Amino acid sequence: MRSLGVCLLGAVVALAGCSEETNPRVVTRLNTDAALVGELPSNPLQGKVITSWIDRKDATMSTMFGNDVAWKYARSNSDSKYPAGAVLSVVTWGQQEDPRWFGGSIPQRPKAVEFVTVTGPGVAAYQRYEGSPLKKVASVEGVDPNDRASYLLAQRAAVMP
Amino acid sequence: MGSVLQSRLRPLLWIVGVLFLVFVGLQFVRPKLTNPPVTADLQTPAEVKQILRNSCYNCHSNETKLPWFDQVVPAYWLVTADVKEARKHLNFSEIGKLPAAQQKGFLFEAVNMIQMGAMPLPAYRRVHPDAVVTPDQLTVLRNYLTTPPDPSNAAEVGAKAVTDAAATDVQYGKWVQASQTALEVKPEWNGVPFDPDYKNWKAISSTDRFDNHTMREILGNDVAVKAIADGHINPWPDGAAFAKVAWQQAAPDEKGVVKTGAFIQVELMVKDSAKYASSEGWGWGRWRGTDLKPYGKDAQFQNECMSCHEPVAKNDHVYTMPFSGQTAGGQ
């Protein structure tokens, strides 16, 4: 009975020639704003997700990626003594309203990309890229990683069972 | 000449007459549609209420008022079925009995449905143009939902954050000890298997869900990542799979930074247009908690997934706008 009703209504709609345009929020597209454009030593998006955070004051969101060495270590150790060869990379994006979900924010333009490369026990290099296109703005190497590198190395992995 | 026309018209008149009688007869086939008592009506400012009453209450409340043209079969059958379905999903006359956070969740979903053009239903809007939510009315609804909560319950919120932090630490401690051991995870009720490999997939987006205090990473497998690189994302190719991993948002630290709190769930969408033809071409699954328990009680759970993703049906049911650059060489 209901299907008959649906058929009848369908026929009416078809006759009336009504067709809804695609809502602009639904039009298929990539989030091109968030692409990492610039001369980076490696591509963080090829890494695996270790964790993420949101900075309410700066209205930014960051994702920390790791190469295989870093990722494996972070998932089974809660200290920050990453082995040599571990590379952490952090992408920090500005935020924009998710056009497809009111109540959510998604990445906008990248604000910074950071790399922490561990070369030995307690020895790490830190590099930071900013701007559009992304350009190197800081580079620190040596024993006793700088504050920011220590901070990033100390972030624990998000639980991903 | 006249009698020829008459003899040709006669059968036609008979048909019209019979159809009319059938039409009249069908008017007596009327499923029952009652208005049960209003037990816990939504409490909102008057201007918000007015908009919801005008555009939503006819289907989503116990105060359904049908205009005469909705009383005529077959329109009446459609409307009756729609109202029953609508009340099951969201009933503003009974929503007041739910916790405040859940009520807000429903309102956020309602605003999403409206601004994506999914509600009121397109067919309903054509026949009831007065029910269309205007851009100004949408702004009123959005502003209402983004107004910060009453600071008088800040102490309560603070206490909850401390409890959550302790629980998060315990969860993390157990996981980091045991993360090398593979879990035995059951497939979803609809048969979609869990894929432990999801954590090796590439990030394609992330979301800060301030509506429900969660944060998510959206990951894509190699097929999905290749589809992004090739620009073939509507429809997505068979074999493409996404994982959406959700955590609670921890309370902000002294610098205003919100870290990932407790793990909530991982959800999978696996494209196979033949195998999953009956569920929009996607295999849907949600595994909750660190023991990854399949969500739902039976295969019906996937109706929840599909109805939530219906507003993006024209985008192959995918909400995420992926960023590109995951393949070798990047951007």
Tens-place pLDDT, residues B142-176 = 999 987 665 556 666 666 777 788 999 999 999 99
- A50 to chain B: which residues are within 8 Å by CB? none
CB B202 within 8 A of CB B326: yes
Q: Which of B291, B296, B195 is nearest to B244 (CA)?
A: B195
Tell me, what's the pLDDT at B2? 59
Strands of chain B, DSSP E: 202-209, 214-220, 241-249, 257-271, 282-288, 293-294
State mean pLDDT over B235-240.
98
pLDDT at B115 over 90: yes
pLDDT at B327 over 70: yes
Q: Which residue of A has its CA nearest to B204?
A: A45
CA gap B307, B300 in Å, rounded: 12
Question: Is the Cβ of B292 closer than 8 Å to some Cβ of chain A?
Answer: yes
Tell me, what's the pLDDT at A10? 46
Tens-place pLDDT, residues B280-297 = 999 999 999 999 999 999
Tell me, what's the pLDDT at B99? 92
Tell me, what's the pLDDT at B331? 42
**H/E stretch holding A129:** strand A123-130
Compute the mean pLDDT over every residue in chain B, rounded to the nearest whole number.
91
CB B181 within 8 A of CB B195: no
Q: Which of B172, B258, B322 sits opposite A53 (nearest CB)?
A: B258
Q: Any idea which of A4-8, B1-5, B291-295 has the lowest mean pLDDT?
A: A4-8
Task: Domain ranges for chain A, please list them.
Answer: 32-154
Q: Which two tokens stand for residue A30?
A: 């990539």
Closest-CA distance, B132 to chain A, in angstroms, reads 14
Tens-place pLDDT, residues A53-84 = 999 999 999 999 999 999 999 999 999 999 99
Cβ distance of B206 and A106 shorter than 8 Å? yes
Tens-place pLDDT, residues B190-208 = 999 999 999 999 999 999 9
Cβ distance of B263 and A23 shorter than 8 Å? no
Strands of B72-187, DSSP E: none
Q: Which of A26, A75, A159 sits opposite B263 (nearest CB)?
A: A159
- B325 to chain A: which residues are within 8 Å by CB? 35-36, 43, 45
Tell me, what's the pLDDT at B182? 86
Tell me, what's the pLDDT at A8? 47
pLDDT at A36 over 90: yes
Cβ distance of B117 and A20 shorter than 8 Å? yes
What domains sit in chain B, N to C, each tagged with a CATH number?
46-146 (no CATH), 162-315 (3.50.70)
Q: Which of A23, A37, A76 sits opposite B179 (nearest CB)?
A: A76
Of the pLDDT bands very low, low, confident and very high (cuts 50, 70, 90), residue B47 is very high
Handedness of CA B65, B68, B70, B71 (dihedral sign): positive
Residue B296 gets which letter from DSSP?
S
Q: Which two tokens stand for residue A19?
A: 């067709």
CA gap B77, B27 in Å, rounded: 10
Tell me, what's the pLDDT at A82? 97
CB B69 within 8 A of CB B127: yes
Of the pLDDT bands very low, low, confident and very high (cuts 50, 70, 90), residue B27 is confident
Percentage of chain B lying above the pLDDT 70 cut: 94
Interface test with B, best of A13, A21, A30, A65 (most B CBs within 10 A): A30
State mean pLDDT over B68-76.
88
Cβ under 8 Å to A: B residues 163-202? 171-173, 175-176, 179-180, 183, 199-200, 202
Tell me, what's the pLDDT at B328? 67
Tell me, what's the pLDDT at A28? 93
Residue A62 gets which letter from DSSP?
E
Helix B75-89 to helix A2-16 angle (10° resolution) is 110
Compute the mean pLDDT over every residue in chain A, rounded to the nearest whole number.
88
**N- to C-terminal Cα distance for chain A?**
48
Cβ–Cβ pairs < 8 A, chains A and B: 209
Cβ distance of A51 and B260 shorter than 8 Å? yes
Q: Could you tell me which residues come within 8 angstroms of residue A94 by beta carbon, excluding any fewer than 6 positions away?
A: A59, A60, A107, A108, A109, A110, A111
Tell me, what's the pLDDT at B136? 97
Tens-place pLDDT, residues B131-140 = 999 999 999 9
> What's the distance, CA A15 to chain centroid?
48
State mean pLDDT over B79-108.
93
Question: Is the Cβ of B115 closer than 8 Å to some Cβ of chain A?
Answer: yes
Tell me, what's the pLDDT at B224? 98
Q: Could you tell me which residues come within 8 angstroms of residue B160 by beta carbon, excluding any fewer than 6 positions away?
A: none
- B208 to chain A: which residues are within 8 Å by CB? 54, 61, 95, 104-106
> What's the distance, CA B216 to chain centroid?
17
- A103 to chain B: which residues are within 8 Å by CB? 108, 111-112, 145, 209-212
Q: Which of B207, B247, B290 sits opposite A104 (nearest CB)?
A: B207
Query: What pTM, to 2 d.p., does this model score?
Result: 0.86
Interface test with A, best of B103, B206, B226, B242 (most A CBs within 10 A): B206
Cβ distance of A5 and B292 shorter than 8 Å? no
Q: Which of A63, B211, B97, B316 is nearest to A71 (CA)?
A: A63
Tell me, what's the pLDDT at B9? 86
Cβ distance of A100 and B321 shorter than 8 Å? yes
pLDDT at A11 over 70: no
Q: Which residue of B has its CA nearest to A3?
A: B78
Tell me, what's the pLDDT at B192? 98
State mean pLDDT over A91-116.
96
Q: Which of A30, A45, A103 sits opposite B211 (nearest CB)?
A: A103
Q: Which amino acid is at B27?
A: Q
Tell me, what's the pLDDT at B11? 87
State mean pLDDT over A74-99.
96
Strands of B114-254, DSSP E: 202-209, 214-220, 241-249
**Side-chain half-sphere exposure of B225, counting CA atoms within 13 A:** 20
- Higher model confidence: residue B153 or residue B209? B209
CB B327 within 8 A of CB B229: yes
Bridge-based pairing of strands B202-209 and B214-220 is antiparallel
